[in-house]
Amino acid sequence: MQIEMSRTCFNCGRSWGVGRSCQFCRQVEQLPAGVQLSSPAKRFGEYVVEMVLATVTLGIGWMIWSFVVYQYGQTPAKQLLGMRVVNLEDGAPATWGRMFVREFIAKTLVGILASVLLYLPYFWLILDKDNQELWDKIVGTVVVDDPNKLLDASDYKLPPAAQPQALPPEAEATVLLPVVERTAKPEE
């Protein structure tokens, strides 16, 4: 038997709902307040910007820029739009290797699948509660809005306990206080 505890979103103060993001403000658990799931519309806009950048730079400039910003969990368009790709396991920005697999291998596989299935897999994002595309599911990532660079990879530290776990009412809670050692002042 699983006990479902209601919890409050630390960003908007409303009921969290079920899932890894708030049902109202789309705040993602484990991440700082204000880092929210990117909407399908913003992700579509990011795709359009990505295509424009690739075209304007003849693909070469875009690829070099991509290889530089992958280490921050971003693509060139995501960097311009304040978006970031984060790992689902720990909430940290995706590494360079994970971004490479996501952008080149997983997207290619989904593209092949989509060409066989009338391009329907590209619309997965609209139906998914976490706004994940199939390539996000393959590599275990989610795309978030991070306009204030709260997840800047150079100084991001995963919080020790992102969300305290609520105990069922029948469980007894023990409060543990930190031990502070005091040293006595030597008398003169």
Q: Give 141-167 as a DSSP string.
A: EEEEE-TT-TT-TTT----S-SSPPPP
Query: Rounded mean pLDDT of 178-183?
Result: 45
If pLDDT is split at 50, 70 and 90, which confidence band does 19 have? confident
Q: Give 18-46 as a DSSP string.
A: SSSB-TTT-BBTTS-TT-EEPPHHHHHHH
**pLDDT computed for residue 156 by the predictor:** 53
Query: pLDDT digits over 27-68, tens only?
Result: 998 899 999 999 999 999 999 999 999 999 999 999 999 999
- Whole-prediction pTM value? 0.78
How many CB atoms lie under 10 A from the CB of residue 50?
A: 19
If pLDDT is split at 50, 70 and 90, which confidence band does 188 have? low
